Amino acid sequence: MARKTFLQGAVVLGVAGLIIKVMGAVFRIPLANIIGDTGMGYYQTAYPVYVLLLTLSTAGVPVAISRMVAERNALGNNYEAYRVFRISFALLFAIGISSSAVLFFGAEAIVTHLGNPGAKMAMMSIAPALLFVPMMASFRGFFQGLQNMNPTAISQVVEQLFRVAAGLTLAVVLVDRGLEYAAAGASFGATAGSVMGLLTVVGLFLYHRRNILEGVVRIKGERSESSSRILIQILAIAIPITIGAAIMPIMNTIDVAIVIKRLAASGFTPDAANSLYGQLTGMAGPLINFPQVLTQAIAMSLVPAVAAAYKRKEMDFLRYNVELGLRTSLILGLPCALGLMTLSEPIMLLLYPAQRASAVSAAPSLFILSFGVIFLATVQTLTGVLQGIGRQLISVRNLAVGALAKVVLTYYLTAIPSINIRGAAVGTVCAYIVASALNLVAVSKYTGTRFDLRLTIIKPLVSGLVMSGFVFAAHRVVYMVLGNVTDSVNKANALATVLAILVGVLVYFVMLIKTRTITSEELKLLPRGDKWIRLFDRFKK
């Protein structure tokens, strides 16, 4: 396998992730209009249980496959790399059958326990997806280990496309039969999407089969690893990663009880406390997911690149990838964080014009959470590095320490009336700060990477601050001008916000070039690098 940086794969996965997020938003809004709050109650009872089982089934194994395939290919041992894929496929197939059966045959018992028996059909409709998604994950992990992210990205988009199309179509067709049937139809969208996603990635595997199998030849007399040893290695990598993936969701679940009770202790009524929590988690919180898609793509692409370099003991190339990875995450994370902070209230009013008071009230929480985007980007990137060098337990421990800090801060701060729900936002940000600082220490210790402070932090920060100034001014000017020519406050804010964001994108791009935060050599590593270089040179003059 040729020496590759992670950038091309990160771009592919990042673009796919954004497309998927947009399609997800397109799915939720019309679905709520079709099946209403009662139907959404059935759907939302089944879907989180499905996501939990899916996380437990697939959170760690694809990363393990990616790393182990990359390590063996790095040493020219393609036969053993392919065996890792075959064994992991069998493992995920067994996990898929088990989890799917539990959800399908246990649907009635689960929804009864959850107090929503009307969600039974929705639960049963989504259960088969738990069989197909793990199988799909094994193919994706294998391709990622080969540092080919295209099959993962393509299959993800196809999966989401069919999930949205099938889910909405079935909801419309079945709504006349009752909301339980309509919710089941919407849930079946996940099953339809998983089937099409699996068929897509299998088709891509068959298309590339000749190239993949060309080097998969067992050398005569060479001793192979036992299947049990490979399986143990997969589990040794996957289990800590799965535990790590479950830490923040568990902490967020605990958050519900802590926040509501502590707000009540500070004098808020139960309804007011519930509303404040809804503003944090339902209005402000989801906006942080969009920047996270980009940095998560970097982390996924870093794992095989770092693993291959580490296995070949090419420490200089490894450190180059680590430094470039963190810098790229901050180049993407900083403008997202500063932009959301600058436009926190206008963005909330843009998205929730019919709930103006709640949007204004949620804006301070968005402002605080936006600051955490910087550290969340750092956590994700450095976690990918630690997974690539086989130190996944350290990243899990660091995230657990951060989560503990979150619980403590949330408990004390939310009970202060003047801080209230913003205390929970502060707790979340501090969790990422603690985890990112600990990860940074660990990565420096185990890889010997020394980060260029000026290039990694100062230059992107200066570019982001200049961008923020232009964004703030653009929004104010456009809003005042439009406020004089239109009688709609919401329309004026919407246009001013969109134009300010566009100004911010352009200014930040120019600042990156003027400050030489990005070099032409790094642009060559991107897809269609020559075109980026020509654009780079044009702005540089």
Tell me: the pLDDT tens digits for 449-478? 898 889 889 999 999 999 999 999 999 999
Ranking 213-217, 268-272, 330-334, 513-517 by mean pLDDT, the lowest is: 213-217
pLDDT at 52 over 70: yes
Do residues 347 and 287 touch, judged by C-beta distance below 8 A?
yes
Residue with more model confidence, 443 or 53: 443
Q: What is the pLDDT of residues 369-411, one digit of tens each?
A: 999 999 999 999 999 999 999 898 999 999 999 989 999 999 9
Q: In the chain, what percentage of residues exceed pLDDT 90?
A: 44
- pLDDT at site 210: 83
Q: Helices in 75-128 by DSSP H: which ranges?
A: 78-105, 107-113, 120-126
The pLDDT of residue 1 is above 60: no
Show the DSSP H helices in 417-488 as ranges: 422-447, 453, 459-485
Q: Within 266-343, where are the H helices? A: 270-278, 289-311, 315-342
Tell me which residue of 201, 100, 105, 118 sits closest to 156, measured CA to CA. Answer: 201
Mean pLDDT check: name the lowest of 70-79, 152-161, 242-251: 242-251
| Residues comprising the chain, all counted | 541
Mean pLDDT of 337-364: 89
Q: What value does the mean pLDDT of the chain take?
A: 87
pTM given for the model: 0.83
In the chain, % helix, strand, coil (3-state, to 5) comes to 85, 0, 15
413-432 pLDDT tens trace: 989 988 888 998 999 999 99
Q: Given pLDDT bands bounded at 50, 70 and 90, which one contains residue 195?
A: very high
Instruction: Give pLDDT, residue 54.
Output: 86
CB 376 within 8 A of CB 432: yes
* Least confidently predicted of 263-272, 447-456, 466-475, 518-527: 518-527
Task: Pick the more confident residue, 218 or 465.
Answer: 465
The yes-or-no verdict on residue 486 having pLDDT over 70 is no
Q: Where do we find the tokens 């301070």?
A: 364
pLDDT exceeds 50 at position 532: yes
pLDDT band with cut points at 50, 70 and 90 for residue 439: very high
Residue-level pLDDT at 2 = 44
- Identify which has the larger pLDDT, 196 or 22: 196
CB of 231 closer than 8 Å to CB of 238: no
Statement: residue 533 has pLDDT above 80 = no
Give the CA-trace dihedral at 19, 22, 23, 28, to 10 degrees. 160
Tokens representing 256? 């519900």
